[in-house]
Structure formats: C-alpha cells, structure tokens
Amino acid sequence: RHLDARIMESPSLAIESVDREIVNMGNLAVNHLSIAMDALLSKSVKKIKTVRKMEETMDKLAQLITEYLVNISNLSLTMEQHLHINMLLNTVNDVERIGDHCDNIGELAERYCKEEGEFSDKAVKGLKKMYAKTIEGTESAMVARATGDLEAVEITMTNEELVDIMEIELRKEHVKRLSKKLCSTKTGVIYLDVLTNLERISDHAMNIAEYVQEERG
C-alpha cells in the first residue's frame, strides 16, 4: 500500500516507503509462522488452508516490492542509498524464504493430519521450545529492520545460536525415540522435517538482522 510510483521523484521518500512495506511483509511472515505451527500442533485443516493463502500473498508482495526496488535503483542515488537498496533486496528475499518454510510446515501439518499417530509429549515440548526461540528471533529481526535497534539484532543472533543447538539436540533425542519405537516412523520423519524448517527460518531471520547491523556500521 506504500508503493506509489509518483513518489519516485523523491528517491529518499520512495526508499522510506518501501522500507515500511518490507516491515509489513516481515510482520506478515511472523504471523505466517505462528499460524503454520498452530496448524501443525492442533492438526487444524482450516489453518492449513490459511497458511497456503498467506504464502500466495507473500509471493505477490515479494514480487511487487522487488520490482519497486529495482525501479528505485535505476534512479540517481547516493552510494549510501545504493547500499540500502541492496540490503532491502536481500531482506525481501529472506522474508520470502521464511514464508516458503512456513508453507513447508503447513504441508507437513497436512501430512500429520492424515496420520493416526501423534508426536510424543516430550517431542511436542521440545518442539514448542524451539518454535518459541525461532519466532522470538524472527520478531526481533523485524524490529531491527523497522527501527535499526542493535539490541534487537543481538536478540536475533542469540536466539539463532540457541535454535541451532536445539535442532541438534532434539534431532538426536527423536532419533533415539524412533529407534526404541516410541514414535511411528511416519510422524517421526514429519517431526524432523519441522525441526529443519524452523532452523532455516532462524537462519533467514539472522540474515535480516545482519543486514541492519551492516547498515548501521
């Protein structure tokens, strides 16, 4: 809603406008993740459909914002503005990738709904902890993008490290459960794939935070 071709007569205003739109897209990605995980844990077919619709919206936004940024880059800009545009292009790509992983979780939720088995209580507890750190880090990355707050950058980076550790530990624990046949193989594979997608989301959130850090010098 902020992308108006008429304001390109003022590059600084155009950049400010697209920056706000990227923040909106980032906040949508956070919501996308929340609904995707809720769809999985509650086995909600209705929420799975919402996840799909949100992915379509994310893709459209990414295309529109990228095209707008490319048009701005063809204007007469300062070196600092060119750097900012490049960072925003990278950010849009990472936000879109977060959306892709949310959609993956939605697809895993759909598969999980078709299975009779359930994740064990320990598996769910671990998954919820990892998800909490993932979404906290993603939210902090969007705060950093919106405000330039370096404390938010640090929060994102700290959470990313924790998510990496959790992913390794939860994977090992779940493989042990599978070997002891405490979980079914089909739901076990779904669980491991969810861990992978959460870890990747955390990686993209860290990328977004690092762009802010680089811009701030």
What DSSP line would sit under 110-146, residue for residue? HHHHH-S----HHHHHHHHHHHHHHHHHHHHHHHHHH
The CA distance from 115 to 208, in Å, is: 36
Cα(212)–Cα(205) distance, rounded to whole angstroms? 11
Segment 111-117 shows an average pLDDT of 90
Backbone φ and ψ of 77, nearest 5°: -120, 160
> How many angstroms separate the Cα of 43 from the Cα of each of 46, 103, 115, 132?
9, 15, 10, 19
Q: CA-to-CA distance for 123 and 183, rounded, in angstroms?
A: 9
Is pLDDT of 6 > 90?
A: no
Question: What pLDDT, on a 0 to 100 scale, did the predictor assign at position 10?
Answer: 86
Provide the percentage of residues in the chain whose pLDDT is more than 90: 79
- Judged by average pLDDT, the poorest of 119-123, 152-156, 193-197, 210-214 is 119-123
CA distance readout (Å), 91 to 44, 95, 100, 150: 31, 6, 14, 16
Task: List pLDDT tens digits, range 23-35.
Answer: 999 999 999 999 9
**Mean pLDDT of all residues in the chain?**
93
Q: What is the pLDDT of residue 185?
A: 82
pLDDT at 2 over 70: no
- pLDDT tens, position by position, 55-101: 999 999 999 999 999 999 988 889 999 999 999 999 999 999 999 99
What confidence score (pLDDT) does residue 178 get? 82
Contacts of 94 (CB under 8 A, 6+ apart): 204, 205, 207, 208
**Whole-number percent of the chain with pLDDT over 70:** 97
For residue 1, the model assigns a pLDDT of: 61
Structure token digits, residue 2: 């902020």
Give the global pTM.
0.94
Round to whole Å and give the CA distance between 71 and 52: 29
The Cα–Cα gap between 15 and 44 comes to 39
